[in-house]
Structures are given as C-alpha cells and as structure tokens.
Structure 1
Amino acid sequence: MRRIAKCTAALWLAGTMGLVAAAETYPARPIKLVEPYAARVEFGKSLSLSAPKFLKQKVFIENRHGEGGANAAAFVHAAPPDGYTLLLGRLASQIIRPAMVPATPYRWNEFTVLGVLDIDPLICAVHKDVPYASARELLDAIRKQPGALKYSTVGPATNTHLSVQYMLHLAGLKRDAAVAVHFESGLEAVQAVVSGKVQFACIAGGLIEPIKEGQLRGLFSTAPGRMSVLPQLPNASEAGLRDMGRIVGWTALLGPPRLPASIVARWKDALDKVSRDPEWIASTIRSGGLPAIRTMGDPDQFMRDQFLLYDELITTLDLAR
C-alpha cells in the first residue's frame, strides 16, 4: 500500500512539476483560440494577428460552432489548463446560455478570465423600403400590427434575440408582437434583413456596411455615444430608449479553470501590448467594436455584472427554460 501511495504521490508531483515547467516556458508551441460563432470571427482574427508579435508564438483559430456557443465553451472548459486552448468567449455563450439552459455543462464563473477584448454595440436597422425612420415609428407600427413584422436573429438565447425582446418589453408590448426568425449564422441574419425577408434586426457589427451602402436604414445603436464608423446614427438614449444601452455584445479571452498564474500574467502582459497595437485597434473599430482592453477596470467584475444584468433580464422576460 505504501508503495502504491508513493507511486501515486510521485505521479502527482511529476504532473504538477510538468505544469509548472510548461508555464515557465509558455508559450512553447502554437496557441489555439476556439471561436464559437462564424459571424464574430473577425475579432478573433485580429487577435490572432496581433498577439504573436508579443508572445513570439503562432496563434490560430479553430471554429467550433453550435448549441448557441456552448460547444466551443464546453470544449475549452474541459481542456487542460496549460494555456494552449483558449476561448473567444461571448455574451451568448458565457452568460445567456448558462442562465437560460440549466443543463449547460459549465457555469458563467468557471473560466479563467484573461481579459475583455472589445465591447460590441448592437445596431438596430430596418430594410431600406420599410417606411420607419426611427425606433419610435417602428414600435408604433408593431403596436398597430402585432405579429405582422419580423426580425432576424442568430438564434434563441443570443443578444440578437434578447435585445428585441427587451425593446418590446420596454415599449409595453408582448413578446410575440414582432416575430423572431432564427438563423444559424450572423451572415444569414444580416442577409435576411438586407433581402427583405424580415423587416428589421438588431445585430452587432454586421449591419454597418449595409447601412453605409444604403441597403438598410439605421435606427440606433446601443453604444455609449456615437460610433465613429456610423457617426450619423443616434444611440439608444438619443432614440428615446435609454435602457437599451445596457444591451451590448463583447468578446472576452478565457481559459479553462485553474489556469496557472504565470500563464495568466503572460497573457495580461501580451494583451496590454495588443491594446496599443494600431492594427488591432483599427481592425476592432472597423468590425464595429469598441476596444476595451485598456478601458476595462476589472474583467472579473465585468463578467459578474453581466451575469447579474442578464439573469435579471431573463427572469423579467420569462425566457428561462
């Protein structure tokens, strides 16, 4: 028995020392960023191009779509805590999904938070031929014709769905006053409103170019001020929907539980340098995001605040299942 105990202790010690040694030389091989959504891949690409400048190691993206982002998040949650498998966590995968679906195989606070990369305001827009020039006109039309207008989403339990549900709630309208049409990707959701299959949508980033090209009419964004990529677009407060400003998307860099402190420190140093990289800043802004690495006070507290906010909204809207 003593021999077995000694062998077990030796194996445990060897494994622990192996992790410590790996952390000290990190990164010694390419790092994988797991991407949960096809529509948001540009944010991951910008990090995968910028981070290697400071980590001196290749960073590549692996797509694991499905289950509202849960496939990717569950994969990273179960990965070895060695820093070579990280997650581009998003609001839907990390906060909304666990809050709405109790069977989700991870909780919102079971990841190592390395940093919040960007805040992604939602943009609400209508098809160019829809005769509504403001959020108020759109809501008035929904009130007069309940069930007649459709909006596209990237699926249930995403902020593209929840945002419209919350807007209807703020206007005193029923959940089905406008009809949700769910798609598997952001590209399909954007194309649906551009083509006129649906009348409106609230989506982060993907509506910018169609608005610039005149295919869509922007109503408002949930940014704290005017967005530099669409300076003519009012924000939610200006549009008379101040509380809609609470609804934003974001990208956070997350690791599996129990990531060693030395690896966390390595990434925090790298992200601080990424945050000053002009190419990363420009790419984030072009994609409709607001760079957040340098402006985010406490990333862990931000994640907690997001959980409390969306737990409240999901309860208020009676969306849990």
Structure 2
Amino acid sequence: MFRHLKKAALGVAALACATAFASAAQADSYPEKAITLVVPYGAGGASDLAGRALAETARNYTNEQPVIVVNKTGNGGMNGARFVTESDPDGYTLLLSRVGMALYPAVYSDSPVAWDDYTFLGILEATPMILAVNAESDIKTIDDLIAKIKESNGATTYAASGPTAIDGFSVQALLSDAGLDPLSASTLVPYKGGGALAAALLGNHVDFLAISAGSLMPHIQAGKMRALMVYAPKRMADLPDVPTAKELGYATAAQVGGWSGLYAPKGLPDDVVAKWKDILGKVATNEQWLDLAKKRGSISVIGDEDPSTYVKSQFDLYHGLAVKFGYIQ
C-alpha cells in the first residue's frame, strides 16, 4: 500500500514539475505571434497616439513579434473595450485603455463593461488636457472666456466627444467652478476623435474646447491655437506661461485629467502578466517612449501607480461628478 502511495506521490510531484516547466517555457516563448492592441477611439486622438507609441516601443521586447494597433471605435470607447473583454485571455489581444474605461461605467449603470472587467497590466501615462481657443479669437485669457460665456446666454459653443466624455466633463467642471450651469451655460457640439475635435476649433466651428494636450500641442506650437489653461498638477514645460486650473482656483476642474493604461481580458495567466510587467518596466526607461510621450505633451508614469487602485479612484471621481451634475439621480 505504502509503495503505491509513494509512487502516486512521485507522480504528482513529477506532474507539478512538468507543469511548472511548461509554464516557464510558455513565459519564455510568449509572444509567439503578433499582438493586437485595440485602441477604442478614432485615429489621430490621444489614445491612438499613445497606442502607436506603445506598439512602436514595446516591440523591442516582444521576441521581435509586432504589436499591431487596431482602432475599434464607438459607444464612448466601450465597443473596443467589450471586444477585448470578450477575447481569449491569452495575451494576444490587449486594450489601450483611457479614462473613459473608468468614466463610462461610472456614469451609465447599463455600461456593457464594468470598470474592473479586466486584467490591469499598468498605467502608462498622464495626459494633461488643455483649454484652448483659435489663435484668431478675441479671447485672450480664461477670464475673457468666462465673461463671454456669461454674456452669451448659452450661445457660446465648445467641441467634445459627448457631455459625459472626459472632454465634456473638462468644460462642465470649469463652468461649475465659475458658478455657471454646467449643462446650459455653453452649448456642446459633438465630434468623434481628437483629430475631429481639433479640426472643429481650427475651422472656427466652435468657440473653444478642452481636450488632451496630444491632440492640441502641434497646433499650439504652430501658432494656430491659443492655450488658456491646463488641466494638470503643474504647468507644462512646453507651456510655461499657461496657468493650471488649480492655480486659477477651479477646484473641480483641477481633478479632471486624461491617462492611458494597458489592460487585458480578465483571467490572463500569471506568467503573461509577469511578462508584460517586465516589458513595461523596460518601456518605462526607453528613450524612444519617453521622447514620444514628451512630444505628445504626456508624462510617463509606468510603475508609479497600482493600476487597480488607481482605476477605482478614477471611477469614484467621475461617479461623484455625474451625481453632482445631475446625470445620475
């Protein structure tokens, strides 16, 4: 009897060793084919730029396998997000997440994807937002803008993806801080994607907007737009004369900001999670990644935040704003 038990124990031990060896081999061999990085917003916007920068940099550490960016737009980013959550958790379909992945479920109880329906791999970057007008505008300062909004009785216009998108909340938070009705003091004109939003301001189709720095900096640097305020903890190095929302006393607006993260479907194997943590650790110090982030007006924060804790705090923030502004009763 004991001889049989001993043989069984040896068999279990051998199986455990074989499993561990196979797992280690899988971790060493992953990835063995191209990785799809889903960007849930349109081409040319902050998420697309961040996704392509990550793809270009990460491929140096993915066994020479390419990281292919695919834009899957619609429903406030939720179409792309849902596609990833419904994909196999094998490490070959990932999501370039944005604040919308926390914001949308914070506002809509029927969100097709919950804020935590993912494996969180890391927070990549903070993306300051900029409040800007066309360079030809007679609005020179934030005070000029607020005065014009007050005088217009709702006739001023701003471009945003939607009222409960991050670029909608950026303006509404400012209006609320200024003692104005966040939903009626100025009129939202909807556009899809950072490129379209910027084009609307360049074409004088709207009076102002407040969107990601990555979508606006090239136009500001070209002298086609004028920055009035930044949504960031401190002034941007490339815009040293432009004050922050916090400096100007806009407390709610000062809490609003963009960011990018890297998510995978829930249930991603631990060895693949570890592989991506290693890849991101290398990306964090890669000069190409840092240079591209700087050009987008972003700040690399890889490794600075526990992703699940950070995303939960963002969910809580925007749920609170949605209640305050009346989107949730």
TM over 0.5: yes
Instruction: Give 1:52's match in structure 2, choosing from 59, 72, 75.
Output: 59
Could you say what secondary structure the match of 2:242 adopts?
Answer: coil
The offset of 1:77, in angstroms, is: 0.6
Could you say what secondary structure the match of 1:37 adopts?
Answer: coil
Give unmatched runs, 5+ long, in structure 1. Answer: 1-16
Alignment of 1:23-38 (within 5 A): 23=27, 25-38=29-42
Amino acid at match of 2:279: A
Instruction: Give 1:75's match in structure 2, choosing from 77, 83, 104.
Output: 83
Could you say what secondary structure the match of 1:109 adopts?
Answer: coil
- Deviations along 1:237-269, whole A, 9 cap, x unmatched? 233324322111111000011111111111001
The offset of 1:140, in angstroms, is: 2.0
Q: Partner of 2:196 in structure 1? A: 188
Amino acid at match of 1:227: M
Determine the C-alpha separation between the residues in 2 that align with 1:105 and 1:197.
Answer: 33
1:62 and 2:70 are equivalent in the alignment: yes
Verify the 8 A CA contact 1:119 1:250 in the aligned structure 2.
yes
The offset of 1:304, in angstroms, is: 0.9
Alignment of 1:154-165 (within 5 A): 154-165=161-172
Verify the 8 A CA contact 2:105 2:315 in the aligned structure 1.
no
Alignment of 1:232-311 (within 5 A): 232-294=241-303, 296-311=304-319
Q: Partner of 2:15 in structure 1? A: none
Could you say what secondary structure the match of 1:234 adopts?
Answer: coil
Q: Partner of 1:119 in structure 2? A: 126
Structure 1 residues 160-169 or 130-139, which shifts more?
130-139
Verify the 8 A CA contact 1:127 1:193 in the aligned structure 2.
yes
Amino acid at match of 1:109: D
Q: How many residues align?
A: 303
Poorly superposed stretches of 4+, deviation over 4 Å: 19-24
Verify the 8 A CA contact 2:31 2:62 in the aligned structure 1.
yes
Verify the 8 A CA contact 1:123 1:207 in the aligned structure 2.
yes
Could you say what secondary structure the match of 2:252 adopts?
Answer: helix
The offset of 1:120, in angstroms, is: 0.6
Structure 1 residues 36-45 or 111-120, which shifts more?
36-45
Determine the C-alpha separation between the residues in 1 that align with 2:147 and 2:197.
Answer: 23
The offset of 1:22, in angstroms, is: 4.7
Q: Partner of 2:4 in structure 1? A: none
* Superposition RMSD in Å: 1.9
Q: Partner of 1:213 in structure 2? A: 222
Structure 1 residues 96-105 or 118-127, which shifts more?
96-105
Amino acid at match of 1:120: T
Amino acid at match of 2:230: S
- Deviations along 1:106-139, whole A, 9 cap, x unmatched? 1001111100011111100112233222222211
Determine the C-alpha separation between the residues in 1 that align with 2:305 and 2:249.
Answer: 29
The offset of 1:185, in angstroms, is: 2.0
Amino acid at match of 1:255: A
Verify the 8 A CA contact 2:177 2:251 in the aligned structure 1.
no
- Deviations along 1:163-213, whole A, 9 cap, x unmatched? 111111111211111000001221111111111111100010211122222
Determine the C-alpha separation between the residues in 1 that align with 2:69 and 2:39.
Answer: 7
Determine the C-alpha separation between the residues in 1 that align with 2:305 and 2:220.
Answer: 33
Amino acid at match of 1:106: V
Verify the 8 A CA contact 1:99 1:320 in the aligned structure 2.
no
The offset of 1:23, in angstroms, is: 4.9
TM-score w.r.t. the length of structure 1 is: 0.89
